[in-house]
Chain A
Amino acid sequence: MKIRPRHVAAILLRQYYLMRGSPVRILPVVVWVAIDIILWGFISRYLNIIASSQFDFLAALLGAIIFWDFFNRVMYGVSTAFLEDVWSRNFLNLFTSPLSVLEYLIGLVLCSILTSIAGLLVMLILASLAFGLSFFSYGLTVIPFLTVLFLFGIALGIVAIAMVLRFGPPAEWLVWPIPALLSPFAAVFYPVAVLPRWMQYLARALPPSYVFESMRTLVSGGRPGHIDLLIATGLAVLYVIIACWFFAHVFKVVIREGHIARYSAETVS
């Protein structure tokens, strides 16, 4: 399928216009993540003081929060850029233009890359300046972690927007809790081994669980297993492919049933 850069640029430009026109949109990109870092930074510092063990809560908890917030930002980056079209009732104008579904998805993903990287930089700088936690010291080792979380965030974001496309604007409320629903299985703050057996199976199907296990190994001075990271990457790529297929399928259904033409109505489901 032919991808026209101008179409992708249009999606990015629209997002830029929205941010420029209403700086409030920058809040979720940088301010909320900054608040998370400050909150968890102090909690981790307090735990380091009261705990007698040699375990470094700051690196483990704050590191986990940085990664988890990055994953959240990626997912919300895709879904928020899409929801802008829902909120402004723009689907009819958008999908009667020569924009292809793939170009639209690429545009949304690029929006997400830009906003999530901005959020990540804010978190890394703040964690380093305020709490002395420097992920830069781990160097390139963290790149695979971020890549896996990025891919899985994209996959979940695409699934989320497919649900909104299929079930209409009220389905927006299904989007926001997705990361919270996954967090118990993602082993963000504890090892997978502490979960009951059935939860462990689910955790192993989620790429973030491998990332957080590996991250804990890394901050305690160990070497993350290559196999685990390979499995996580493979799963994340698989989920992206499934998510794109799912969106394309949903798009066909909404075209067949005429939901796009009547999208502003809340009766599409």
Chain B
Amino acid sequence: MPRNVLSVVNLTKYYGNILAVDHVCFDVGPNEIVGLLGPNGAGKTTIINMILGVLEPSEGTILIEGIDIAIDRCRALERTNFAAVYAPLPGNLTVYENLMFFGLLYNVKDLRDRIEQAISLFGLDRFRNTKCGVLSSGEQTRVGLAKALLNSPRLLLLDEPTASLDPANAREVRDRIRQFARRESMGLLWTSHNMAEVENVCDRVLFLSHGRILLEGNPRTLPGEYGMRNLEELFIAVAKEPLNPGGDDED
């Protein structure tokens, strides 16, 4: 069986006395797209930040292709990349300059060729010499995605990647990411509040609430298993799940 690209074991994060992530365990396999769902404040971005090594867990282990990020951060991050609407690339560099800069940081081989491929994949050719700061939010999102795919990461983390795209662009971008991910056998962790998108893209979803994984399964069959008509209804039901102040084991 192929090794998981991501293994999260007992991941826990306290901010002072507040428990933000509560002993979360999950895996992402190669060629698998996993949706991380949950209401605002459920702990999705906290988990992503810990996987990306910019937030230290209070407890637990994160292995990226078997490499513990707490022990060998740089080697683990070489296999990773991410894009998020709240992390645009520097606006004072052009699209090409940004891709060159991040390509060097991610040790991308044949960098110039890879940049051309990424520019072409996301339709950025006419913006290559435009400073990212003057692009529309949708165009900036596409540049961020081009950067995220530049190193063909084994693990790709996308935090609401289509949030600022119009429906037509969102569908096109989704399809391209999915094709690219399948071709490269990547593992993807995808957060979104667009349940139709999740149903369409993800092989498996994890429902997170108050820092815990409440449900896990196939996004197309999971709603039926809980007597719901669709993923959105299930999401709303999970979001209403009452807060357990003790954070005890009531999964």
- A residues touching B (Cβ–Cβ < 8 Å)? 2, 4, 6-7, 9-10, 13-14, 17-18, 21-22, 84-85, 87-90, 92-100, 252, 255-256, 258, 260-261
Mostly, the A contact residues are helix
Which stretch in B71-79, B188-196, B219-227 binds the other chain?
A: B71-79
Name the contact of A21 in the complex, choosing from B53, B75, B93, B107 (C-beta under 8 A): B93
* Minimal Cβ-Cβ distance residue in A for B97: A17
Q: Is the CB of A255 within 8 A of B56?
A: yes
Of B54, B56, B91, the residue contacting A88 (CB under 8 A) is B91
Closest to A96 in B: B52
Q: Cα distance A57–B104 when bound, in Å?
A: 50
Partner of B104, one of A9, A21, A88, A89: A9
Asked whether any CB of chain A lies closer than 8 Å to the CB of B55, the reply is yes
Min CB gap A110→B, angstroms: 14
Minimum CB–CB distance for B162 against chain A, Å: 19
With contacts A21-B92, A92-B54, A92-B87 taken as known, whether A98 is within 8 angstroms of B104 at the C-beta atoms is: no
Q: Chain A residues with Cβ under 8 A from B97's Cβ?
A: 14, 17, 21
A151 CB to nearest chain B CB (Å): 27
The answer, yes or no, to whether B94 is at the interface (CB within 8 Å) is yes
A residues near B82, Cβ cutoff 8 Å: 96
The answer to the question of B106 belonging to the interface, with a C-beta cut-off of 8 Å to chain A, is yes
Closest to B90 in A: A88
With A7-B107, A98-B77 given, can you name 15 additional A-B contacts, CB distance below 8 Å? A2-B74, A4-B107, A9-B104, A10-B101, A13-B100, A13-B101, A13-B104, A21-B97, A92-B86, A95-B53, A96-B53, A97-B77, A97-B106, A98-B78, A100-B73
Q: Contacts of A22 on B, CB cut-off 8 Å?
A: 92
Main SS class of interface, B: mixed
CB distance from A20 to the nearest CB of B (A): 9
* CB of A252 to closest CB in B, whole Å: 8
Name which residue of chain B comes closest to A14, CB basis: B101
Do residues B75 and A98 form an inter-chain contact, with CB atoms below 8 A?
yes
Q: Is B49 at the interface (CB under 8 A from chain A)? A: yes
Selected contact of B49 from candidates A2, A17, A258, CB within 8 Å: A258
B231 within 8 A of A: no
Which single member of A89, A96, A98 contacts B54 (CB below 8 Å)?
A96
Contact A261/B49 with A21-B92, A256-B56 known, Cβ cut-off 8 Å: yes
27 contacts between A and B (CB under 8 A): A4-B107, A7-B105, A13-B100, A13-B101, A13-B104, A18-B92, A21-B92, A21-B94, A84-B92, A87-B92, A88-B93, A89-B88, A89-B90, A90-B89, A92-B54, A92-B84, A92-B87, A93-B102, A95-B53, A97-B105, A98-B73, A100-B73, A252-B56, A255-B53, A258-B15, A261-B45, A261-B54
Which 10 A/B pairs are nearest by Cβ-Cβ distance? A10-B104, A88-B90, A96-B52, A97-B105, A261-B49, A92-B87, A98-B78, A256-B56, A98-B77, A258-B55
Contact present for B55 and A255 (CB under 8 Å):
yes
